[in-house]
């Protein structure tokens, strides 16, 4: 047994000294089983596992089966796994884990695989993990903790991202604040941020926000602190502390999002208290107390939202197992006693079987102090708190039935009148599948051609959108054109413009008639233009015709003027003045002007502007273009290129010289602490040879930081750039030691050992050699109890003292071993105290059995058992739990219940008196089947089903001239009529039997009224 389990055993022993320990369960507070909130609940044994196990783990798989792994029994640490099938109530072997382990964590991954982490086995604490595949029934290694710290009693929580947060735990050196994160997608581990406080035997709960609440646990002492992990920021933050420090407790997420923490232990002993954590405030509040203080129990959330607590320890003895169970109501925040388990147990596994309304409890330690292989099922009625009176819609019956905690409602019959809440439908009726629907009001009669054809219905009234401005329409007027909608429902066009007379000898303004324009002719002699350049003095004839006499407007050339003079059928033109611009049609003359006698003359073009310096300066003109002769080859010139020399003409009009010669050599130099290089490009620009200048290297300055060479720590000092190169030198910083020495740190002996140089620094290790005790240990010397007391650390070693404590005085007492009365002599010195004892047999008892009922449990009472110093003892055990079955019958309209299978004598053959459950209240609804009025009577008692019976009766067939509507006979032909506005000061609006309203449509009951619209409102009446 390692240090942390030894410390726990010592702590439990100390609690026995302080508060007292007993070998039988304590009496519970008054929590009457008859007042249990679960109307049908109890335990039944199911098949046991193939092997006993404690400190194991279990999880429900997506298939509904339960996987149980590892643990410990008399044969040692277990690697085996087993599967429970709720459908058959049997166990089958699953593949074994890669290595045995107990006190481990088991987590269902989003993929449906199962992750196991941490724990311990014969080799010590474990840092390893493995993944189980239900599909292939195989295990595979999942690596090890990234922190490298092996530990048991960890928590493992699946985050919304699918990663798993493994927090805390402990090993033989104590509790840890280490955190590891597992990523199933990559199969890799990473170190997470440390907890604020080292802890083990704590709880971790995933909150609705995706954050994780860690609460309680133990370090060197019990913890009340709590902290919250934020996956987004990957950080921990302290939150409100528990009212009572505790470990070995349970934590359950409630449907409200709060967390319920129950029981456990601290330095004062076992806890009977429970607390709720509210994530919205970060604070804890006390709930009602448990009936029995307990630790190492289980807490399971039921489908009803209640929490079932089972078993646990009531003391520190290995046999202090509880069979009692309790149920927490999150509404009242109080506890109620539930039926005890068939067998007492602690350190067991409890798994909810979900929709089956059952909880599986398996394994653990029993009242004998040994590992258990037994399993049992807790069954409960998930409909206990459910009232089915909230139908999902008007086409479902108002009262539903509950099954597995879920309400279901029967749909109303086809044709049952309903209201779909839409005033723009008519004749609303149920479709037999729970849907209420009516016929949509048709809006297809717009008030004009500038309204959209399809309208929309609102509040029972059709409205139509205006067509867009500019949409084509016809205003019915032949003397308008371009008719369009105005965007407000109106159509208009532009009056036809009669302002285009057939000629200039008609009046400008005409008159439109039947879409055609007419114009009056202008008076004779009115000036006009006959559009003939060869006439002048044009006038109208009075009949709409324009005419003139010939004109002279076409001179023979540019040096004659216009107009000319018309005489004898010919035109003569005067010459233009001398100097008037003209064109003599010769491209080699310029500045052409008239000479005053009708002739155009110009000056010869000058060619004295050669294209460059290698052409002769005087050229010749041809077709308006000058041409020039090239100078002779070798004539001096300038090619305007500063990178050439000896420029001369080439005889073809071009000037050129010889290129300048440039170097391509390189040279390094320093520019501050930069080494730079100039390199000639071999090219010239602007009359100069070109080069490049580039940065070769920036020389380091300062020091390199320490590094190791042998057992010396050195550093390199950099001197920057000098003479085109970088400089540096090596300097010794420190010589490192490899010797060791012991010293005291508080009450621990520690060893400081030099490790030489590493990473540029002189290193050392500081290891714990021994923790010096200041505790006392008693031992026996004859019948004298003596005590050695540690004095702590001094001078690098541990010291102690030895003193006499007590002389023992033995006494005799009597007890039982099975049915044998034994005498025990105790009180002599043994194991460091006056607790030594020897036992001898006195007599053997002969028990006998009787049977009775405790509620629905058949119990066997065995009398004549060994008790005290004689055979006057008795014990009562549960033989079987009866499973009563209720049957329901009808007595008239009264539903009656008879319960059979009740405990009677030594069996389950009893039955209860028949009791009235409820009296049905039938109600009638009238409807139509064709032209026949039918009465549907619902809510009748029906055997086995309650008040859900229905009877349909024909009441009346409507006569001639009548039709059946809404369950009554009405006159045929009645229709909804708009009688005008209401709520306008003249009369109030009425609404009577308005379900089948349709504007101008047929109606059922005469006098029915509907108010439609908003402002104004219209009163429609069935007439």
Q: Which two tokens stand for residue 624?
A: 């308006």
> Is residue 11 predicted with pLDDT exceeding 50?
no
- Which residues, including other chains, have CB under 8 Å from residue 46's CB and lie 6 or more apart? 84, 89, 360, 375, 376, 377
pLDDT, position 17: 26
> Mean pLDDT over residues 331-355, rounded?
94
pLDDT, position 420: 86
Q: Which one-letter DSSP state was computed for residue 522?
A: P
Q: Do the Cβ atoms of 438 and 425 come closer than 8 Å?
A: yes
Domain ranges of the chain: 396-434, 451-491, 774-844, 848-919, 922-938+948-980
Percent of the chain at pLDDT above 70? Answer: 92
Q: Do the Cβ atoms of 159 and 166 come closer than 8 Å?
A: no
Where residue 514 falls among pLDDT bands split at 50, 70, 90?
confident
Q: Which two tokens stand for residue 241?
A: 């502390």
Instruction: Judge if the upstream peptide bond of residue 1016 is cis by omega within 30 degrees of 0.
Output: yes
> Is residue 452 predicted with pLDDT exceeding 70?
yes
| Average confidence score pLDDT of the chain | 85
> Is residue 164 predicted with pLDDT exceeding 80?
yes
- Which residues, including other chains, have CB under 8 Å from residue 111's CB and lie 6 or more apart? 184
> Mean pLDDT over residues 462-484, rounded?
87
> Is residue 697 predicted with pLDDT exceeding 50?
yes
Give the tens place of pLDDT for each residue, 286-308.
Answer: 999 999 999 999 999 998 899 99
pLDDT, position 634: 86
- Highest mean pLDDT among 84-98, 491-505, 563-577, 731-745 belongs to 84-98
Which range among 30-44, 252-266, 578-592, 628-642 shows the weakest confidence by mean pLDDT? 30-44
**β strands within 845-931, DSSP E:** 848-854, 857-867, 870-881, 885-891, 894-904, 907-911, 915-919, 923-929
- The reported pTM is 0.45
pLDDT, position 970: 64
| Nearest alpha-carbon partner for 276 in 370, 351, 205 | 205
Where residue 972 falls among pLDDT bands split at 50, 70, 90?
low
Q: Which two tokens stand for residue 57?
A: 């783990």
| Nearest alpha-carbon partner for 326 in 296, 360, 300 | 300
pLDDT, position 673: 84
Percent of the chain at pLDDT above 90? Answer: 36
Give the tens place of pLDDT for each residue, 831-850.
Answer: 777 877 778 787 888 787 77
Where residue 212 falls among pLDDT bands split at 50, 70, 90?
very high
Q: pLDDT: is 1007 or 767 the higher one?
A: 767
> Is residue 5 predicted with pLDDT exceeding 50?
no
For 642-650, the CB contacts below 8 A with 24+ separation are 642/684, 642/686, 642/687, 643/684, 643/685, 643/686, 643/687, 649/613, 649/614, 650/614
Query: How far apart are the C-alpha atoms of 206 and 190, rounded to whole Å?
Result: 20
- Which residues, including other chains, have CB under 8 Å from residue 569's CB and lie 6 or more apart? none
DSSP result, 661-699: P----EEEEEETTEEEEEEEEEEEETTEEEEEEEEEEEP
Where residue 82 falls among pLDDT bands split at 50, 70, 90?
very high
Which range among 267-271, 434-438, 586-590 shows the weakest confidence by mean pLDDT? 586-590
Which range among 10-24, 39-53, 952-966 shows the weakest confidence by mean pLDDT? 10-24
- Highest mean pLDDT among 106-120, 720-734, 762-776 belongs to 106-120
Query: How far apart are the C-alpha atoms of 894 and 910, rounded to whole Å?
Result: 24
> Mean pLDDT over residues 180-207, rounded?
97
pLDDT, position 991: 77
pLDDT, position 586: 82
- Highest mean pLDDT among 18-32, 146-160, 487-501 belongs to 146-160
Instruction: Judge if the upstream peptide bond of residue 563 is cis by omega within 30 degrees of 0.
Output: yes
Torsion on CA atoms 800, 806, 807, 808, rounded to nearest 10: -110
Torsion on CA atoms 552, 555, 561, 562, rounded to nearest 10: 20
Q: Which two tokens stand for residue 285?
A: 């509040």
């Amino acid at each position: 047994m390692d240090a942390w389990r030894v410390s726990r055993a010592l702590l439990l022993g100390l609690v026995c000294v302080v508060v007292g320990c007993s070998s039988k369960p304590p009496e519970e507070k008054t929590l009457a089983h008859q007042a249990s909130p679960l109307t049908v609940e109890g335990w039944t044994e199911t098949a046991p596992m193939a092997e006993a196990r404690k400190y194991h783990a279990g999880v429900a798989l997506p298939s509904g089966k339960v996987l149980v792994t590892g643990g410990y029994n008399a044969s040692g640490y277990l690697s085996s796994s087993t599967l429970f099938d709720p459908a058959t109530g049997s166990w089958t072997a699953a593949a074994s884990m890669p290595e045995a382990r107990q006190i481990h964590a088991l987590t269902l991954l989003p993929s449906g695989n199962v992750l196991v982490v941490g724990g311990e086995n014969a080799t010590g604490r474990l840092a390893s993990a493995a993944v189980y595949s239900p599909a292939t029934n195989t295990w595979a290694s999942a690596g090890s903790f990234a922190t490298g710290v092996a530990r048991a009693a960890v928590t493992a929580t699946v985050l919304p991202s699918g990663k798993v947060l493994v927090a805390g735990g402990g090993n033989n050196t104590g509790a840890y604040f280490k955190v590891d994160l597992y990523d199933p997608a990559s199969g890799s581990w990473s170190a997470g941020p440390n907890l604020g406080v080292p802890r083990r035997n704590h709880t971790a709960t995933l909150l609705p926000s995706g954050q994780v609440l860690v609460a309680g646990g133990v370090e060197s002492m019990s913890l009340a602190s709590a902290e919250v992990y934020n996956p987004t920021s990957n950080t921990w933050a302290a939150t409100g502390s528990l009212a009572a420090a505790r470990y070995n407790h349970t934590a359950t997420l409630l449907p409200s999002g709060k967390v319920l923490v129950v029981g456990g232990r601290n330095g004062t002993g076992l806890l009977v208290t429970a607390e709720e954590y509210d994530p919205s405030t970060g604070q804890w509040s006390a709930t009602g107390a448990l009936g029995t203080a307990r630790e190492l129990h289980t807490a399971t959330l039921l489908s009803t939202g209640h929490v079932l607590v089972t078993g646990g320890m009531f003391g520190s003895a290995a046999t202090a197992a509880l069979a009692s169970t309790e149920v927490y109501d999150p509404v009242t925040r109080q506890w109620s006693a539930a039926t005890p388990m068939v067998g007492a147990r602690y350190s067991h596994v409890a798994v909810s079987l979900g929709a089956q309304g059952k909880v599986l409890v398996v394994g653990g330690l029993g009242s004998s102090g040994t590992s258990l292989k037994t399993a049992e099922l807790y069954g409960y009625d998930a409909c206990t708190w459910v009232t089915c009176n909230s139908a999902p819609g008007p086409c479902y019956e108002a009262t539903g039935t509950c099954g597995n905690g879920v309400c279901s409602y029967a749909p109303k019959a086809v044709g049952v009148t309903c209201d779909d809440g839409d005033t723009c439908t008519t004749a609303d009726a149920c479709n037999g599948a729970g849907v209420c629907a009516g016929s949509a009001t048709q809006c297809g009669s717009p008030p004009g051609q500038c309204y959209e054809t399809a309208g929309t219905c609102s509040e029972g009234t059709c409205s139509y959108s205006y067509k867009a401005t500019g949409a084509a329409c016809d205003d019915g007027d032949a003397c308008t054109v371009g008719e369009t909608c105005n965007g407000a429902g109106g159509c208009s066009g532009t009056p036809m413009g009669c302002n285009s007379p057939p000629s200039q000898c008609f009046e400008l303004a005409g008159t439109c008639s039947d879409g055609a324009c007419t114009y009056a002719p202008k008076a004779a002699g009115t000036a006009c233009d006959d559009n003939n350049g060869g006439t002048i003095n044009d006038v109208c004839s009075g009949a709409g015709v324009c005419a003139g006499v010939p004109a002279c407007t076409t001179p023979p050339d540019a040096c004659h003027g216009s107009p000319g003079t018309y005489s004898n059928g010919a035109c003569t033109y005067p010459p233009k003045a001398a100097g008037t611009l003209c064109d003599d049609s010769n491209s080699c003359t310029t500045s052409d002007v008239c000479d005053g006698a009708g002739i155009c003359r110009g000056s010869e073009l000058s060619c004295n502007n050669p294209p460059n310096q290698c052409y002769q300066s005087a050229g010749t003109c041809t077709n308006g273009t000058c041409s020039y002769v090239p100078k002779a080859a070798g004539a001096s010139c300038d090619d305007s290129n500063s990178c050439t020399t000896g420029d001369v003409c080439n005889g073809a009009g071009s000037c050129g010289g010889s290129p300048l010669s440039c170097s391509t050599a390189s040279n390094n130099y320093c520019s501050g602490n930069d080494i730079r290089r100039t390199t000639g490009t071999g090219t010239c620009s602007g009359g100069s040879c070109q080069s490049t200048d580039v940065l070769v290297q920036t020389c380091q300055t300062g020091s390199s930081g320490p590094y190791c060479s042998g057992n010396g720590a050195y550093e390199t000092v950099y001197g920057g750039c000098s003479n085109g190169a970088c400089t540096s030198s090596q300097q010794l910083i420190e010589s490192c030691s490899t010797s060791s020495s012991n010293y005291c740190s508080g009450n621990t002996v520690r060893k400081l050992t030099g490790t030489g140089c590493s990473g540029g620094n002189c290193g050392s290790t500081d290891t714990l050699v021994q923790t010096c005790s200041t505790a006392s240990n008693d031992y026996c010397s004859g019948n004298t109890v003596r005590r050695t007391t540690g004095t702590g650390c001094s001078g690098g070693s541990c010291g102690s003292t030895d003193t006499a404590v007590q002389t023992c005085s033995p006494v005799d007492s009597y007890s039982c071993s099975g049915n044998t009365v034994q005498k025990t002599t105790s009180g002599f010195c043994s194991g460091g105290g006056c607790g030594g004892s020897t036992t001898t047999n006195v007599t053997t008892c002969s028990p006998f059995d009787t049977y009775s009922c405790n509620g629905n449990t058949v119990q066997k009472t065995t009398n004549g058992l060994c008790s005290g110093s004689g055979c006057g003892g008795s014990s009562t055990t549960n033989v079987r739990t009866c499973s009563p079955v209720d049957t329901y019958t009808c007595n008239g309209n009264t539903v009656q219940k008879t319960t059979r299978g009740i405990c009677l004598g030594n069996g389950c053959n009893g039955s209860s008196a028949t009791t009235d459950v409820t009296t049905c209240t039938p109600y009638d609804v009238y409807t139509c089947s064709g032209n026949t009025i039918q009465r549907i009577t619902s809510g009748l008692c029906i055997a086995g089903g309650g008040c859900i019976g229905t009877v349909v009766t024909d009441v009346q067939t409507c006569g001639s001239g009548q039709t059946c509507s809404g369950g009554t006979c009405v006159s045929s032909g009645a229709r909804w009529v708009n009688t005008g506005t209401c709520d306008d000061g003249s009369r109030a609006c009425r609404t009577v039997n308005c379900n089948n309203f349709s504007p101008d449509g047929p109606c059922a009951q005469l006098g029915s009224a509907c108010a439609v619209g908003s402002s104004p409102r219209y009163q429609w009446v069935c007439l």
